[in-house]
Amino acid sequence: MLQLYNWSRFPWYRQSVPVELIPLPLSVSERQGSFLLGPTTVIVATGPALASAWLLHDVLHTATGHAMPVVPDAAGAPAITVLVDGETTDAFPSTAAERYHLAINEDHVTIHAAQPAGATRAVQTVRQLLPADALRAAPVLTEPVTLPCLTIDDEPRFAWRGLMLDVARHFQPKEFLLRLIDLAALHRLNVLHLHLTDDQGWRLEVPSWPKLTQIGAWRSETVLGHARDQLGFDGTPHGGYYTIADLKEVVAYARARHITVVPEVDLPGHVRSALAAYPELGNTGTTQPVATTFGVFEQILAPTDEALRFARDVFDVVVDIFDSPFIHIGGDECPRTEWQQSAAARARADELGLPGVEFLQSWFTAQFAQHLRQHGRRVIGWDEILDGGAPDDAVISVWREFGIAAKALAAGHDVIVAPQEAVYLDFYASPGPAEPLHIHGNLPLETIAEFDPVPASPDDRTDGAGHRAPGAVLGVQAQLWTEYLPTPREVEYAAFPRLAAVAEMAWASMDNRRAQPVTERLTTHLTRLDALGVNYRPPAGPHPWQSGGTGARARFDHR
């Protein structure tokens, strides 16, 4: 009754938006024709479909300027029906929870998912089926906006599809975390791992340990250029932290998009910021400032009851803020020098019946895991926590090299594949001289595009370690360490478009990836990133005026 014209019969506005989605869905079958997103279109949803329907409403209202009301019944209007069978039954991480069916016909669109997460992923696919300019923050398209007729059946390869952002080396504004969640959602990623603490800054408010943010969140200055070049310091204070309310907001924003925010508190190494605030937690009794340069420092937690009390207090705040079933305890790059030199640490190792001080990290990990287990959470640690033995239920973030994944799996641990050679987006994107300052390495998008994150023989029981069933590859995660990425613009430049290739690695099957390489869909995808104002690195390489030198930081803008 409300539909005055069947607009789709008018060929003059049929846009040819290429169906070039990133990540690639499991199956797509395209048909002739399109569905008009017109002034009378409604979104039909009830019950567990409502939250996804409102997300879709926001997307389509912004794209078209039309009201796109969410209603319980179409009453004859052209409709997008969002059907969700029930509330969430498969807790994260679960690929089944994210399965969806999307059918676009000339007169009707249906999104159907068993669980809300699946419908939310479908909304993101719909976003990519719109003309790129529909992704702008307000409607700019003058021609009618349509969706191409097709059917998509989709489910991710991996249940964990993550992005880690280091907010410790350079504090990143809360607004940028929200933007990154939106950008992650567009790529159907489902984890934002926040590296909240490190030698150069403590970013998490902990009311019972106030000096962590009064002192530990601030440093007096930052090394110029690359730390290894010893070019001096910038003389400019740097810092910042998130309040508990800020982080609860970030978690809720992510949750509405079915993205889990996984917090990391890096212990027992990488704690210079905590020790600047509370030197009594260290091994030497001396006070050192928050670190102003980058690398691995010898200052680590002392193996004392006080240090354990500190960690438990921090984790109690963490579990109050974050609903993630997994809590990351760091555990990387923890030199044993101070423990070796400390009579108290050696005595503690003896008292605990450990063969040597090098096992104190393993003891710390076990204590953290036990405490978090009482809160119903599982620990994740960087792969160094395997040294000396990790608790059976600990998940391993494999970062030093991919080969460690097979060993961790064989030892029965679940694994997140995050190796530097494949998914460290803080690495250089090419060996070319015009790349702006990055940490080191060379990780072109093409390398990411070809990488298969499942070890060839995950159940190969190397080292005789396998005394229980092999673990599972939960998924894949990109890392953005920010030593040399001081602001959101630099972070975006390092992240994009390589993150699109990581998202594809995490979502799409190897067969689909080989048949339709992500590189062939990149040009279309960049128009979306342009509309969203993402400061991506041009695939052809940086502009020649960008300095790859070691002096003052280059500004790097892609336009």
Residues that bind ligand ACM (CB under 6 A): 332-333, 382, 399
**415: which strand partners?**
396, 473
Active site residue 384: no
Q: How many CB atoms lie within 10 A of CB 431?
A: 10
The amino acid that residue 251 corresponds to is V
The encoded tokens of residue 491 equal 């972070």
Question: Smallest gap, in angstroms, from Cβ of residue 479 to ligand ACM?
Answer: 6
Can you point out the beta strands (E) in 45-138? 70-71, 79-84, 100-104, 108-113
Question: Smallest gap, in angstroms, from Cβ of residue 425 to ligand ACM?
Answer: 12
Give, to the nearest 10 degrees, the angle between helix 116-129 and helix 50-64: 10
What's the 3-state SS for 416-478?
A: EECCHHHHECCCCCCCCCCCCCCCCCCCCHHHHHHCCCCCCCCCCCHHHCCCCCCCCEEEEEE
| Of the candidates 31, 28, 17, 129, the residue with the CA atom closest to the CA atom of residue 516 | 28
* Longest CA pairwise span in the chain (Å): 85
Residue among 315 and 399 whose Cβ is closer to ligand ACM: 399
Question: Smallest gap, in angstroms, from Cβ of residue 382 to ligand ACM?
Answer: 4
Q: 443 near 427, Cβ under 8 Å? A: yes
Q: Catalytic residue, from 57, 270, 328, 558: name it.
A: 270
The distance of Cα 332 from the centroid of its chain, to the nearest Å, equals 18
| Of the candidates 85, 59, 211, the residue with the CA atom closest to the CA atom of residue 145 | 59
d(CA 172, CA 247): 13
What number of residues does the chain have? 559
The dihedrals phi and psi of 127, each to the nearest 5 degrees, come to -55, -40
Q: Catalytic residue, from 154, 198, 384, 483: name it.
A: 198
**398: which strand partners?**
417
**201: which strand partners?**
198
**328: which strand partners?**
264, 380
Question: Smallest gap, in angstroms, from Cβ of residue 64 to ligand ACM?
Answer: 44
d(CA 519, CA 527): 14
Question: Smallest gap, in angstroms, from Cβ of residue 253 to ligand ACM?
Answer: 26
Question: Smallest gap, in angstroms, from Cβ of residue 152 to ligand ACM?
Answer: 36
The dihedrals phi and psi of 287, each to the nearest 5 degrees, come to -100, 130
Q: Catalytic residue, from 85, 133, 332, 333: name it.
A: 333
Question: Smallest gap, in angstroms, from Cβ of residue 540 to ligand ACM?
Answer: 29
Using CA atoms of 212, 163, 332, 284 in order, give the dihedral in degrees to the nearest 10.
-10
Residue number with the smallest Cβ distance to ligand ACM: 332
Active site residue 170: no
In 74-173, alpha helices (H): 116-129
Bridge-based pairing state of the strands 145-154 and 191-195: unpaired
Active site residue 198: yes
Residue among 359 and 399 whose Cβ is closer to ligand ACM: 399
Question: Smallest gap, in angstroms, from Cβ of residue 424 to ligand ACM?
Answer: 7
Please list the active-site residues: 198, 270, 333
